[in-house]
């Protein structure tokens, strides 16, 4: 099975912490139809590789795909579905939405186009934090969008950020709890990280960005985990929580090493080319270049071949982020090599310290150690 990711490369304004492939645009300047045509042209070129495959999930991310007219997004979705021999019995189709380009009417139009899951970029319910993050909405706009989404769509997820300066762990937990109480069935909670190629990165280099102390951020992580557990959410991936059965099919497919086709400016794809081999590529992130070249090979600005140990390491990085860990049989089938070969001593040491367990055919890191996940994975590399 293959998942499809479609990238929409524009936002109304670039947020100062964001290093995603996105740039600011005025609403009226979005090339609605031309972008759909460009994505369809790219799909046409890649279609031959999909004919015998099944479609696992579709995700429209960005950028701000809720700026795309639902009719244009719907054309792309139909063409994606038509390109596969088969699809999951209940195909999960998610669209990321920002409160400033979303309302009930848009939610209904997206549902009519075949979308069945929304992911809302809420980020915070505090106006002061939203301003710090450079967001265009306020807390009232966030709640209105959330209510519209829940009224129309069966499955709604929200993004929440924590670790802002001046935010206490109790505040972060209260926000997560409030969102759960408002009806979300899935929540992604990310700590604010400072990426070098962003406005925040530049301010930080000049020593002009106030940051939250690390202990405060760690304590917010634990408090959010606790608040959501109390409300019946399962912490199933380092940054993701879901009510029973509401995990993101798309993201799980990715974390479990599944193949995915990336379409759109700046999109990344990774397709299996033979047993134990894969090819990862990245499209040109510049929208104007993408619009010109999407139907041609030169739309790709990066590619790499992955084999054997590369694929095991990918699985260590991604699979260990989840509560199920790295499935050893699946990792062996994907990579063509024994995933534990050469790392027996490191695994034994991690298990001895309680940082990892090997059980039921999987290597996993217990959730209570996820704050230290990066260093645990590094030792197993």
**Minimum CB distance to ligand SF4 smaller for 18 or for 347:** 18
**Least CB distance from residue 284 to ligand SF4, whole Å?**
18
**Minimum CB distance to ligand SF4 smaller for 200 or for 255:** 200
Tokens 């244009």 identify what position? 72
Size of interface with ligand SF4, in residues (CB under 6 A): 11
**Would you count residue 177 as binding ligand SF4 (CB under 6 A)?**
no
| Stretch binding ligand SF4 (CB under 6 A), from 60-68, 147-155, 168-176, 273-281 | 60-68
Cα angle 339-343-348, degrees, rounded to a multiple of 5: 110
**Would you count residue 95 as binding ligand SF4 (CB under 6 A)?**
no
| Alpha carbon distance 281, 299 (integer Å) | 10
In 3D space, the residue among 369, 250, 169 whose CA is nearest the CA of residue 242 turns out to be 250
**Minimum CB distance to ligand SF4 smaller for 122 or for 263:** 122
Tokens 């009417």 identify what position? 105
**Would you count residue 63 as binding ligand SF4 (CB under 6 A)?**
yes
**Least CB distance from residue 200 to ligand SF4, whole Å?**
11
**Would you count residue 190 as binding ligand SF4 (CB under 6 A)?**
no
**Least CB distance from residue 378 to ligand SF4, whole Å?**
27
| Stretch binding ligand SF4 (CB under 6 A), from 12-20, 104-112, 190-198, 266-274 | 12-20
**Least CB distance from residue 249 to ligand SF4, whole Å?**
22
**Would you count residue 81 as binding ligand SF4 (CB under 6 A)?**
no
**Would you count residue 266 as binding ligand SF4 (CB under 6 A)?**
no
| Stretch binding ligand SF4 (CB under 6 A), from 15-23, 81-89, 186-194, 239-247 | 15-23
Rg over alpha carbons for the chain, rounded to the nearest Å, is 21
**Would you count residue 268 as binding ligand SF4 (CB under 6 A)?**
no
Q: How many CB atoms lie within 10 A of CB 224?
A: 26
Which residue blocks in the chain are alpha helix, DSSP H?
32-46, 70-82, 104-112, 127-132, 139-152, 169-181, 199-205, 214-230, 249-255, 287-293, 309-319, 328-335, 344-353, 373-380
**Would you count residue 94 as binding ligand SF4 (CB under 6 A)?**
no
The conformational region for residue 324 under phi > 0 = left, psi -120 to 50 = alpha, else beta, is alpha
> End-to-end alpha-carbon separation of the chain, Å?
27
The alpha carbon of 155 is separated from its chain's Cα centroid by a whole number of angstroms, namely 16
Q: Which of residues 28-57 bind ligand SF4 (CB under 6 A)?
A: none
Residues 6+ apart with CB under 8 A from 47: 83
**Minimum CB distance to ligand SF4 smaller for 162 or for 370:** 162
Q: Under the rule (CB under 6 A), what is the footprint of ligand SF4?
A: 11, 14-15, 18, 20, 22, 62-64, 98, 121
């Amino acid at each position: 099975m293959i998942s499809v990711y479609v990238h929409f490369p524009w936002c109304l304004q670039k947020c100062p912490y964001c290093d995603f492939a996105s740039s600011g645009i005025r609403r009226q300047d979005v090339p609605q139809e031309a972008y759909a045509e460009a994505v369809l042209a790219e799909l046409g070129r890649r279609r031959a590789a999909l004919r015998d495959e099944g479609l696992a999930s579709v995700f429209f991310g960005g950028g701000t795909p809720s700026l795309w007219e639902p009719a244009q997004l719907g054309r792309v979705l139909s063409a994606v579905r038509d390109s596969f021999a088969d699809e999951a019995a209940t195909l999960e189709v998610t669209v990321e939405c920002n409160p400033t380009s979303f309302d009930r009417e848009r939610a209904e139009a997206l549902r009519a186009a075949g979308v069945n899951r929304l992911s809302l970029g809420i980020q915070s319910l505090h106006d002061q934090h939203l301003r710090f993050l450079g967001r265009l909405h306020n807390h009232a706009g966030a709640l209105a969008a959330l209510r519209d989404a829940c009224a129309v769509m069966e499955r709604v997820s929200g993004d929440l950020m924590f670790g802002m300066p001046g935010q206490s762990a109790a505040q972060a937990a209260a926000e997560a709890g409030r969102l759960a109480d408002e009806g979300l069935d899935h929540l992604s909670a990310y700590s604010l990280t400072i990426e070098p190629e962003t406005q925040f990165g530049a301010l930080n280099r000049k020593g002009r960005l106030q940051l939250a102390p690390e202990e405060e951020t760690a304590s917010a992580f634990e408090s959010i985990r606790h608040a959501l557990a109390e409300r019946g959410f399962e912490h199933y991936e380092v940054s993701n929580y879901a009510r029973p059965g509401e995990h993101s099919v798309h993201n799980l497919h990715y974390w479990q090493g599944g193949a995915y086709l990336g379409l759109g400016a700046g999109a990344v794809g990774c397709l299996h080319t033979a047993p134990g081999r894969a090819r990862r590529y990245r499209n040109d992130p510049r929208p104007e270049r993408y619009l010109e070249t999407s139907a041609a090979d030169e739309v790709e600005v990066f590619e790499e071949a992955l084999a054997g140990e590369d694929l095991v390491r990918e699985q260590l990085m991604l699979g260990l982020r989840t509560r199920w860990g790295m499935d050893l049989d699946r990792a062996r089938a994907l990579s063509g090599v024994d995933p534990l070969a050469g790392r027996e001593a490191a695994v034994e040491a991690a298990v001895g310290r309680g940082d990892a367990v090997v059980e039921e055919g999987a290597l996993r890191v217990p959730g209570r150690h996820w704050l230290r996940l990066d260093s645990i994975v590094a030792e197993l590399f």
